[in-house]
Structure 1
């Protein structure tokens, strides 16, 4: 179901609600809200899940929610927190400060700039606080999200390649595709697949967010349904062009795997740092495969 929203008399068609299955098993613990954790210009909520048994230097998995969702919804929506009890990683569940539709700021100049502000900086402050508090492994910080959470995952990896090692984005858009003059800007041209650029053009946009960065860019896997009418499937092609260019990979996949991850899904492998999966007949309501995510991050 999609709701319509009006802001200051302007129509913005927001992202769809996601209907997620109830996990068969629940996490052993509960979320804890952290209030004083560092720079947080947009007042993003910080909810933390720490399992009772941690790895010696625990990895951190950030899981931003979808539009109209909350940190609590995301905590309950998959088995990722339950699996943290088994594998000993810490989870951060940010909560969007945008009360209008709970979508993430993936459009402002601030959030799209390294240390520039916006929601992304607040989330990075959560990561840094958690690393210090729990002696976490700074080389094993990851982000996974669906819909608006996938869009934020692209933003986090693009704006903070010095913080995140990898991402998993389900039904999102390329970094910078929603760029606009303000927070929570809805881009109908991006959503409907009308913003089409070359890989070089996307790379220029992403590189400009952190001029002079010389480190290793994070690896990323992206997923998109062919029947997505909220964020059109063209957005998968734009993500492919962007991340292959940013990671210095060939524009042609090294291999194509049919019925990979799920029946009817096709995975295009561009190397060990980037994969893209097209899910035949799947709508915007794409379901998370936790095993795939944990395998990609090396958390299992």
Structure 2
């Protein structure tokens, strides 16, 4: 059975990128559309892993081929944050996860006690903040798996994650990290012996899985940027048509239309972003060589 274990919907909220906060969403995907596309692209199971919420996943939770998941933003004491994928959780478990995620030293023991499968997403990316060997030394003994193929990250980043997972004995995981429809179901993890949701989770925990599908690239990011822009304009024009007397809708649409030529700017910046990602991957690998993870290391403190 195949599943894309890393997919976002509009329930992930608004982007944290200034100056688009409260204007542009993290994703414009709907849960129903994610489900339909994942199934059409060969996924036997469907997971929705929004940022710090399971509201989107719960809209589909009664279906036997849906796994309720979440991409949890967990905080170290020194301010570094990591993204953890948790799968097959209940509403009660999520409530406790959401409470504890601001203190990772409380969160990880809770996940272990509950037997919740947890994996580390895009470890070799700056999205996680300035993760160092010290952070990984503390965290790796607590995670079950590691995302070794992320459909939105460079192949070199995924290769670094794969090498780290092999060294740590982590279960290999894969997912598209789709924030638009383009990537849904294009990257996955497969459990050949699984026949249902429950047996898939057993196979995943046992490590009897393999990853497959696409890596990310500059052109996939460029495509996503254009899709985000299209969805943003569609949503804002729709809001204006539904509420023509709301001055704020007129103001936002006016500014958005005037800014249309600036859509090309992110396409240029995407190249710089991936160059930064490559440099961060190299820096993390050098740090790991200089300070290899040692089990039992203390939680990194603020400087």
- Choose between structure 1 and 2: higher helix proportion: 2
Structure number with greater Rg is 2
Q: Could you tell me the TM-score, scaled by structure 1's length?
A: 0.28
| Structure number with higher relative contact order (C-alpha < 8 Å, ≥ 6 residues apart) | 2
